[in-house]
Structure 1
Amino acid sequence: MENLVARWRRELRGTFSANSPTIPQWELDLEKGDDGGYFAPDSAAWAVHGSMTPVVAGIHSLLVQSLHPGAMAGVHDHSDYASDPLSRLAGTIRWIFTVTFGDTAAAQAASTKVLRIHTHIAGRYTANSGEEIDYTANDPDLLCWVHLAFTEAFLATHLALGRPLPGGPDAYVADWAVAGRLMGVPDPPLTVRQLHTQLEAFRAELRCDQRVRDTVQFLKHPPLPRSQQLGYKVLFAAAVSTLDPHYRELLGLYAPRLGPVPLPVRWAAKAVLGVVHLGLGKTGPSEQAARARRRRLGLDGVPGG
């Protein structure tokens, strides 16, 4: 039994670190640095990204992002997500945690690295109007869409499955606007109202085509170890349940029901996330490194330091 538990924990940690046998060095390096970073332990960003809700938010975010044909073209034409999904997941986690828990220099460097990679992601897609549009992943329109979809997903999922947010929902939107500016997003939203207004402006550009349907099928059935497959099904259902009804309809997804009665997938997801929390540990290595850096700099107990 002990060997089975150890194997499960090893597989679980491997899913989030591209099967690294040890804690990735970049997480340990977040202890270095000369300031407290953009966010403090009492921030909404720490509350969301230091919890387990991002496990579901990541699914939600990818589903929504795929609805923009420009974003979908970039993934379809340049990403190896289908053959190596764990590496792509690990790269995204690295950027999120570095911006959240690293010092300002590390956050800026991580964002610059992503933007540099984006310069090689270019092509053409057909808009809903029929116009052929040349794109790069650093186009302001695409950067904005990805930022909005990310913010909406992480906020909606945390509100459904997580603990109360310090400062409320607006605080998280304002916090993550910092990440948007680091990524070159023009005028990122600072409030939930602004977030929804900007998302609304994209509605006419969204669609669900065969590429999107293929992505949805992949997200439904990713190549995970058997020990994680049942729990993932619950988390996928929870992600679907937190989608805006408009996005859910576009994607052809439905919240699980037993006849007319909705199934309690959010409660089940909270239970699964609790188990994942046990497997990964109470506090992640990135947050531990950030707290160690703050102690070294004498920032403990200094709000926003």
Structure 2
Amino acid sequence: MNGSSSTAVNGSSSTAVGGGLFAADSVTWQVHRDPAMILGGLRALFLQALHPAAMRGVAQNSDFRADPWGRLMRTAEFVGVTTYGTEANARKTAARIRGIHRKLRALDPQTGVSYRIDSPDLLLWVHCAEIDSYLSVTRRAGLRLSAADADRYVLEQVTSAELIGVPADDPRIPRSVRDLDRYFQWLRPDLALTQEALAAARFLLSPPMPTWVRLGTPAAPAWAGLASLGFALLPRWARRIYALPGLPTTDLGAAAITTALRMAVLAVPPRFRDGPHYKAALARTTPAA
């Protein structure tokens, strides 16, 4: 999208807010700043793994097993830059990642057919799994958004879909919560628990840690608790596809725990809680006294 398109989606001029893709008063800023985003990100990873072709592409090309924490940090960095960075930096970062993905292929072992991992179908799946997770988890955690706000968030995120490479004229890009729900209903028959998805889920629940961290700190049980909570926040139909022993098949209590964790983080002063990208954007968009 060009600058004028971003203005139309976000409701105010990007120049007026320091050149970012999203305005300071956008729902995107509100959602992506919320402490529950980490759980939304975990939910998104569990959800994305259920698409066989997408997960196969990750398994055959990604270094997530060798460098899981680095991959998580790079994902968080991408969200931070595209949400709060200048438009130039956001587009530069997205173009670099598109360039990497453009060279990658995955092989379907059943058909022997090779396919691009940056196909519009797969990119749209990644996009929808992410925005559905971010929106669903933050709202359930206690972020007060009206139905209109939620629709506005989905519409704002059309910009993000285009940024990662989904064609701007693709009619399947959701522009409302209802569109998003319809997308998942349409795609659900294609989702499955493959061996790659099962391996990814187990990896998410118990990623490798240095021995001294695993044995000498509470990092391992703390992470397992967060990951299990992210799993519990999946839609019921997704949990049923997984049906993993020892993991919840219902979300009973998940929303209450998520709300409690969110409130605990919100008690931390913003100067410690907010990330560097948000702080830089706030400084850039706050009028001088």
Q: Does 1:151 align with 2:142?
A: no
Which of 178, 189, 206 lines up with 1:204 in the alignment?
A: 189
Partners of 2:47 and 2:121 in 1: CA distance: 15
Partners of 1:232 and 1:273 in 2: CA distance: 16
Contact conserved, 2:205 with 2:228, CA < 8 A, in 1?
no
Higher relative contact order (CA 8 A, sep 6+): 1
Q: For residues 299 and 67 of structure 1, do their structure 2 counterparts lie closer, same or farther at Cα, with a shift above 3 Å needed? A: farther
Q: Does 1:235 align with 2:220?
A: no
Provide the residue aligned with 2:105 in structure 1: 122
Contact conserved, 2:24 with 2:285, CA < 8 A, in 1?
no
Cα offset, 1:142, TM superposition:
0.6
Q: For residues 53 and 299 of structure 1, do their structure 2 counterparts lie closer, same or farther at Cα, with a shift above 3 Å needed? A: farther
Cα offset, 1:276, TM superposition:
5.1
Contact conserved, 1:47 with 1:165, CA < 8 A, in 2?
no
Unaligned runs of 5+ in 2: 1-15
Cα offset, 1:152, TM superposition:
1.1
Cα offset, 1:79, TM superposition:
0.9
Question: Partner amino acid for 2:138?
Answer: H
Partners of 2:277 and 2:226 in 1: CA distance: 23
Question: Partner amino acid for 2:118?
Answer: N
Provide the residue aligned with 2:117 in structure 1: 137
Cα offset, 1:236, TM superposition:
2.4
Secondary structure of 1:94 counterpart: helix
Provide the residue aligned with 2:12 in structure 1: none
Cα offset, 1:171, TM superposition:
1.4
Q: For residues 276 and 135 of structure 1, do their structure 2 counterparts lie closer, same or farther at Cα, with a shift above 3 Å needed? A: farther
Bigger CA drift: 163-172 or 56-65?
Answer: 163-172
Q: Does 1:79 align with 2:62?
A: yes
Bigger CA drift: 149-158 or 160-169?
Answer: 160-169
Instruction: Give CA-to-partner distance per residue, 1:66-115, whole Å, 9 cap, x none.
Output: 11111111111111111211111111111111110011111111111110
Q: Does 1:170 align with 2:170?
A: no
Secondary structure of 1:202 counterpart: helix
Partners of 2:208 and 2:275 in 1: CA distance: 24
Which of 225, 235, 255 lines up with 2:248 in the alignment?
A: 255
C-alpha root-mean-square deviation of aligned residues, in Å?
2.6
Provide the residue aligned with 1:9 in structure 2: none
Instruction: Give CA-to-partner distance per residue, 1:97-148, whole Å, 9 cap, x none.
Output: 111001111111111111011023212125xxx6454221211111111111
Partners of 2:86 and 2:285 in 1: CA distance: 10
Provide the residue aligned with 2:164 in structure 1: 183
Cα offset, 1:155, TM superposition:
1.2
How does 1:263-278 map onto structure 2 within 5 Å? Answer: 264-275=253-264, 278=268
Instruction: Give CA-to-partner distance per residue, 1:1-21, whole Å, 9 cap, x none.
Output: xxxxxxxxxxxxxxxxxxxxx
Question: Partner amino acid for 1:183?
Answer: I
Provide the residue aligned with 2:201 in structure 1: 216
How does 1:50-65 map onto structure 2 within 5 Å? Answer: 50-65=33-48
Question: Partner amino acid for 2:202?
Answer: Q
Partners of 1:175 and 1:202 in 2: CA distance: 22
Contact conserved, 1:36 with 1:299, CA < 8 A, in 2?
no
Partners of 2:260 and 2:221 in 1: CA distance: 12
Partners of 1:55 and 1:176 in 2: CA distance: 18
Cα offset, 1:273, TM superposition:
4.1
Secondary structure of 1:81 counterpart: coil
Partners of 2:106 and 2:159 in 1: CA distance: 28
Contact conserved, 2:137 with 2:233, CA < 8 A, in 1?
yes
Partners of 2:32 and 2:46 in 1: CA distance: 19
Partners of 2:227 and 2:19 in 1: CA distance: 35
Q: How many residues align?
A: 259
Secondary structure of 1:155 counterpart: helix
The TM-score with structure 1 as length reference comes to: 0.77
Unaligned runs of 5+ in 1: 1-32, 301-305
